[in-house]
Amino acid sequence: MIIILGVKTMVNRPRRLRKNSTIRDMTCETVLSKNDLIYPIFVVEGENKKKAIKSMPGVFRFSVDMLDEEVAGVLAVGIKAVLLFGVPLHKDWCGSESYNPDGVVQKAIRKLRELAPSMYIIADVCMCEYTDHGHCGIINPDGSVNNDKTLEYLSKIALTCVQAGADMVAPSNMMDGCVAAIRRVLDEDGYESTPIMAYSAKYASNFYGPFREAADSAPAFGDRKGYQMDYRNSDEALRETALDIEEGADIVMVKPAIMCLDVVHRVSKEFNIPLAAYMVSGEYAMIKCAILQGLLNESAMYEAHIAIKRAGAKMIVTYAAKEICERLD
Ligand code: PBG
């Protein structure tokens, strides 16, 4: 009898640690905190504008004069970092508004700095919102993007945003050599302490659709497969990330997040550098719309964020930052 009891107590019972919520919390492996969240904000030209983005319930585009309300909300829930996207009125072949020192995003940066001095302001560096053809760079006569020519323009965007007061730049354009080019220009201008968060492994994903409505940045012809990654690959993500680190990236990113949890995990295991993941517009929309229709309960959004962190991301760019903060309270 004694022997039988002895054997019984030897049995592993993982559920012993699941029965009580305190010990569940104490042994929990994944923590999501407000420090992990980066909230994207879309800024449009004009005045008195707060326009809902239909495909992303709960997300709006604001004119610079209307940022007060959004910033107050962001501060109230405890968000500490924002990622800015500008949507200009005037678009042309070289996206000239993107590097205008008085362009919409540069103005927004200055305004944010004034409204929320402690806010960590990240400026997205890309051209697709600013070009009339909607591609992320300068176009060759054959319709392809001219990688090296584009680097000059991207560097100008980064520099004007930092001069306006951005704390960090986030090149999302996927041009080869972009991190090095931006690093060089920032260093030359005395901004050697300004970090770069590189969208290192950015896939040509179908899940950017709602963003393109928000940023008015759908390509007028062709697609982005010539510069963004093929979603059938993950070794390639490691090569891209290694190159960006070599070029001077301070933080690397995988995007989209939910569709690429395996890539998030691989990159986090392979490189010892802070890793961000972007829960993109389509991923947000799919979960949010299902919640609004009553098909999923509200915790589904939180679970998705936990999954991204569990996969190995240190921080998450997310349109759900506000509601996640509220839940964390
Ligand atoms: C700019 C850019 C895009 C996103 C972030 N930066 C769109 C794209 O590459 O087409 C997508 C973000 C999202 O879907 O939320 N190149």
Give per-residue pLDDT as tens, 255-295: 999 999 999 999 999 999 999 999 999 999 999 999 999 99
Between the CA of 119 and the centroid of ligand 1 the distance, in Å, is: 22
pTM above 0.85, yes or no: yes
Kindly state whether residue 25 falls inside one of the protein's structural domains.
no
Over residues 13-39, the mean pLDDT reads 94
Kindly state whether residue 15 falls inside one of the protein's structural domains.
no
* Ligand 1 atom, smallest distance to 174 CA: 16
* Ligand 1 atom, smallest distance to 208 CA: 14
Which residue out of 80, 91, 107, 202 is catalytically annotated? Answer: 202
The pLDDT of residue 214 is above 90: no
pLDDT of residue 13: 84
Between the CA of 92 and the centroid of ligand 1 the distance, in Å, is: 19
**Ligand 1: residues within 6 Å at CB?**
124, 126, 128, 136, 172-173, 208, 211-212, 224, 280-281
Between the CA of 208 and the centroid of ligand 1 the distance, in Å, is: 6
pLDDT of residue 12: 82
Residue 61's DSSP bridge partners are 42, 51
Kindly state whether residue 61 falls inside one of the protein's structural domains.
yes
Contact 138, 97 (CB under 8 A): no
Known catalytic membership, residue 255 = yes
Instruction: Give me the CATH number covering residue 193.
Output: 3.20.20.70
The pLDDT of residue 1 is above 90: no
Domain count for the chain, please give it.
Answer: 1
Between the CA of 191 and the centroid of ligand 1 the distance, in Å, is: 26
Kindly state whether residue 293 falls inside one of the protein's structural domains.
yes
- Residue to probe by mutation, ligand 1, list 87, 208, 317, most atoms within 8 Å of CB: 208
**Hey, whose CA ends up nearest to atom 10 of ligand 1?**
208
* Ligand 1 atom, smallest distance to 319 CA: 15
Boundaries of domain holding 146: 30-328
pLDDT of residue 213: 86
* Ligand 1 atom, smallest distance to 218 CA: 10
Kindly state whether residue 10 falls inside one of the protein's structural domains.
no
Please, which residues have CB within 8 angstroms of residue 314's CB and are 6 or more apart in sequence? 36, 274, 275, 276
Which amino acid is located at 13 in the chain?
R
Between the CA of 211 and the centroid of ligand 1 the distance, in Å, is: 6
Confidence of residue 4 (pLDDT cuts 50, 70, 90): low
Kindly state whether residue 206 falls inside one of the protein's structural domains.
yes
Over residues 11-25, the mean pLDDT reads 90
Give residue 284's region: left, alpha or beta (phi > 0; psi -120 to 50): alpha
* Ligand 1 atom, smallest distance to 129 CA: 1
- Residue to probe by mutation, ligand 1, list 172, 253, 259, most atoms within 8 Å of CB: 172
- Residue to probe by mutation, ligand 1, list 126, 216, 319, most atoms within 8 Å of CB: 126
Kindly state whether residue 172 falls inside one of the protein's structural domains.
yes
Rounded Cα distance between 143 and 86, Å, is 24
Kindly state whether residue 59 falls inside one of the protein's structural domains.
yes
Between the CA of 66 and the centroid of ligand 1 the distance, in Å, is: 23
The pLDDT of residue 7 is above 60: no
**Hey, whose CA ends up nearest to atom 5 of ligand 1?**
172
Confidence of residue 236 (pLDDT cuts 50, 70, 90): very high
Which residue out of 91, 111, 255, 288 is catalytically annotated? Answer: 255
**3-state SS record for the chain:** CHHHHHHHHCCCCHHHHHCCHHHHHHHCCCCCCHHHEEEEEEEECCCCCEEECCCCCCCEEEEHHHHHHHHHHHHHHCCCEEEEEEECCCCECCCHHHHCCCCHHHHHHHHHHHHCCCCEEEEEECCCCCECCCCCCCECCCCCECHHHHHHHHHHHHHHHHHHCCCEEEECCCCCCHHHHHHHHHHHCCCCCCCEEEEEEEECCHHHHHHHHHHCCCCCCCCCCCCCECCCCCHHHHHHHHHHHHHCCCEEEEECCHHHHHHHHHHHHHCCCCEEEEECHHHHHHHHHHHHCCCCCCHHHHHHHHHHHHHCCCEEEECCHHHHHHHHC
